[in-house]
Structure 1
Amino acid sequence: MQKNKGVLYLIPNVISDNTELSVLNNQIKYYISKINIYFVENIRNARRYIRKVNRDIDIDKIIFISIGKHSKLDINNDFILPIVSGDNVGIISESGLPCIADPGFDIVRVAHDLEIKVVPMVGPSSIFMTLMASGLNGQNFTFHGYLPIDKKELKNKIKQLEYISKKNIQSQIFIETPYRNMKLFQDLIKMCDNETYLCIGAEVTGKEERIITKKIKEWKLLPTPKIHKIPSVFILLS
């Protein structure tokens, strides 16, 4: 008799330290107990996270497979064979929702090709929570990931985003490596039109959460936001 296929669970992670109890629901604790194999960006961080969410799990019986930048995934042996044989599999984001500005989408696509059930869990997302609280257009928006580092390319990209935003009344969302946040903010203040709106969401869900929307001309009059090395989301609307 052929075994039933396993299920692919998409497990969210916290986006601010020590917020497991306040932002994660009991559904996550329940489903984590049903998963045998995890695809994760950082194995040590994933093990620590699972221990915090469900202390009853024997962590040493779980298989962890890295899908970080330099990992080489054997999709057939690592994913297809186990899940077709009945093992439940999970993808855990390093922060926030799996596959949203994070790796793992290729595994989910293979699951659909194999008619494997995919179950997304409810959890925090700094991108969507900042957009929710921004007062900017949440019905028409684009997420760009990281903007160019080169000064000339960055200026051209920002002008392009402003043009598209104004033409389509479309919010333009992007992020930056936390240690480069201040540099990006300073460049935005210099390069954007004074009437463009800029929202910054910093340490979303954390104790020092700040989500502020101002026109560029207003940002110029305010103290520089304290976002150095703080995970942040930026949104423009022209």
Structure 2
Amino acid sequence: MNIQKSYHDAGEQRGKLYLVGTPIGNLEDMTYRAVRVLREVQWIAAEDTRQTRKLLTHFDIATRMVSYHEHNKHASGPELVRLMQAGDSIALVSDAGLPAICDPGADLVRLAIDAEIDVIPVPGANAALSALIMSGLPTERFTFVGFLPRDKKPLEKELKALKREPGTVLCYESPHRLVKTLTAMSEILGEDHEICLIRELTKKYEEAVRGTIRECLAHLDEHPPQGEYCLVIRGSNGESSAESDDDAAWWTGLTPQEHVARYEAEGFAHKEALRRAAQDRGVPKRELYNLLHQGN
């Protein structure tokens, strides 16, 4: 068990890891607190130091920077932990938005927690949640899936699983893959499924296209995709049909252990396989976890 009291000073000599949100486009979304923290820490760990340098220059921040990204995280991560153990505090930033979402920052957070270093969020802009609240789709329950698979078969498998999601689904997509992804969604979710395409958030050409998948594809025929997109997709709302019953039938003869193992065999990590199996069976993930580990 790990209990963190972020602002309790008991003479601790270790530094802290700050997760600092940065603007996703409009520099006015930078918070006063974010600027202060970036000035006060000893190091800023940046995904792309060239991109972050522009931000620091704009806000007159002279803190030293170090590179931390997907390709050097195994070497850089332990070194950053060593610096924090020695007393230096570090601010982790991504290229835009909140760090540790769809980037290797999550690995650094885990390393810091394992080393009993306090991890403190400094909230800021986030593209997925910004897209959700402007979409007009339900916000009570939602699932964020990052970027969908690139290849056709994994993409179709993911969409079939998402078809049973009761809440709104959020994902990111690049302009050159958008039509391909929407076409696959049309085939699996149905061309009349409601969706919202949002691009260029907080920037001059911010745009939201709301409608069915069919209508959105028709719009893209006349207006080719430009900029990075957030897709907000209406969930199933718990609706059942003969088709969805048929989709679920494949696992009915499996034990819970076999059900989870089937997803793992398809390449999903154990936690994701557990989540999907619990969703199929309509039970809480914790209940299925306890069932699998009875007697252990």
Instruction: Give the number of the structure whose residues are more often strand, by fraction.
Output: 1
Tell me how far 1:214 sits from its aligned partner.
1.4
Distance of aligned partners of 1:115 and 1:180 in 2 relative to their CA distance in 1, 3 Å threshold? same
Number of the residue aligned with 1:144: 145
Distance of aligned partners of 1:97 and 1:83 in 2 relative to their CA distance in 1, 3 Å threshold? same
Q: Could you tell me how far apart the structure 1 residues matched to 2:129 and 2:41 are?
A: 27
Tell me how far 1:226 sits from its aligned partner.
4.4
1:185-218, Cα deviation, whole Å (9 max, x unpaired): 3443455313311111111111111123312344
Which shifted more, 37-46 or 65-74?
A: 65-74
Percent identity over the alignment is 25
Q: Could you tell me how far apart the structure 1 residues matched to 2:176 and 2:220 are?
A: 19
Number of the residue aligned with 1:45: 51
Instruction: Give the number of the structure whose residues are more often helix, by fraction.
Output: 2
**Aligned-residue RMSD, C-alpha:** 2.4
Question: Is residue 2:189 matched to residue 1:188?
Answer: no
Q: Could you tell me how far apart the structure 2 residues matched to 1:93 and 1:85 are?
A: 24
Tell me how far 1:180 sits from its aligned partner.
2.2
1:3-28, Cα deviation, whole Å (9 max, x unpaired): 62212111122222xx21x2112111
Work out whether residues 48 and 94 of structure 2, in 8 Å CA contact, stay in contact via their aligned partners in 1. Answer: no
**TM-score, normalised via structure 1 length:** 0.82
1:113-192 to structure 2, matched below 5 A, reads 113-162=114-163, 164-165=164-165, 169-192=166-189
Number of the residue aligned with 1:35: 41
Any stretches of 5+ residues in structure 1 without a counterpart?
none
1:34-70, Cα deviation, whole Å (9 max, x unpaired): 12222222122122221122x1x335xx141322335
Of the two, which has the highest radius of gyration? Answer: 2
Number of the residue aligned with 2:16: 7
Work out whether residues 202 and 227 of structure 1, in 8 Å CA contact, stay in contact via their aligned partners in 2. Answer: no
The one-letter amino acid of 1:48's match is K
**TM-score, normalised via structure 2 length:** 0.68
1:206-221 to structure 2, matched below 5 A, reads 206-219=203-216
Q: Could you tell me how far apart the structure 2 residues matched to 1:179 and 1:217 are?
A: 18
Tell me how far 1:156 sits from its aligned partner.
3.6
Work out whether residues 147 and 174 of structure 1, in 8 Å CA contact, stay in contact via their aligned partners in 2. Answer: yes
Tell me how far 1:29 sits from its aligned partner.
1.2
Q: Could you tell me how far apart the structure 2 residues matched to 1:34 and 1:75 are?
A: 21
Work out whether residues 179 and 217 of structure 2, in 8 Å CA contact, stay in contact via their aligned partners in 1. Answer: no
Which gives a bigger RCO, structure 1 or 2 (Cα 8 Å, sep 6+)? 1
Any stretches of 5+ residues in structure 2 without a counterpart?
1-10, 237-296
Q: Could you tell me how far apart the structure 1 residues matched to 2:225 and 2:215 are?
A: 20
